[in-house]
A and B are shown apart, each in its own frame.
Chain A
Amino acid sequence: DAKTTQPPSMDCAEGRAANLPCNHSTISGNEYVYWYRQIHSQGPQYIIHGLKNNETNEMASLIITEDRKSSTLILPHATLRDTAVYYCIVRGRGGGATNKLIFGTGTLLAVQP
């Protein structure tokens, strides 16, 4: 699995968009970008994933650059409940060993009132 690089921490004002960057310069063509978050003391929660097109769901948007070497997770209107550690993970499709998630240390997003 490709390694990812994320800033250790970010701040965001409540109600504003939070943009969390992730670098994955060694990603291969069949690897997906996944985002999970972990609110304090809880188990991680899936947010979104994508291959090469931009994706949007009820929680967030995922923007992947054309060369696929980086991506940005966007929380359009951050709330205090979005304060969490956000993990960017790259992994292959399919089951078995390729379904493993390799967690780094993520980005601690602090939403300020």
Chain B
Amino acid sequence: NAGVTQTPKFRILKIGQSMTLQCTQDMNHNYMYWYRQDPGMGLKLIYYSVGAGITDKGEVPNGYNVSRSTTEDFPLRLELAAPSQTSVYFCASSPGTSAPARNEQFFGPGTRLTVL
């Protein structure tokens, strides 16, 4: 299994441009998440999904959109890039069981985005 893969690894955008960060997982996990991490800070949840067709906002959703048309893919869309969106973006997935099991989140390698 490749686990959670993210593309691109790096990207530089100009203010006002748009782009989509791709995330794919091959573990058949129900739950997927997008986080952003600013320098020296912990991760903040942007959006999450509990299954295909179902998404919900996290702590910092403004300026972003998501969709979940398949179990495997969870793309993150930036419509009008702003310098405040300069960050490292991590995608994660988890089985999503309601049992008190390990239910750990598996993270991708991240996308480093700079908006100038």
Contact = CB atoms under 8 A, between A and B. Distances in A.
Interface of A: 32, 34, 41-46, 49, 51, 87, 93-97, 99-106
Contacts of B56: 97
Given A43-B110, A106-B42, 5 more contacts: A46-B102, A51-B100, A95-B98, A97-B56, A103-B43
Interface of B: 4, 30-31, 33, 35, 40-45, 48, 50, 56, 58, 90, 92, 94, 96-100, 102-110
A43 B45 CA distance: 14
The DSSP consensus for interface residues of chain A is: loop
Contacts, number: 64
Contacts of B109: 42-43
A51 B99 CA distance: 13
Given A42-B110, A46-B104, A100 B50 contact: no
Given A101-B43, A103-B42, A106-B42, A45 B96 contact: no
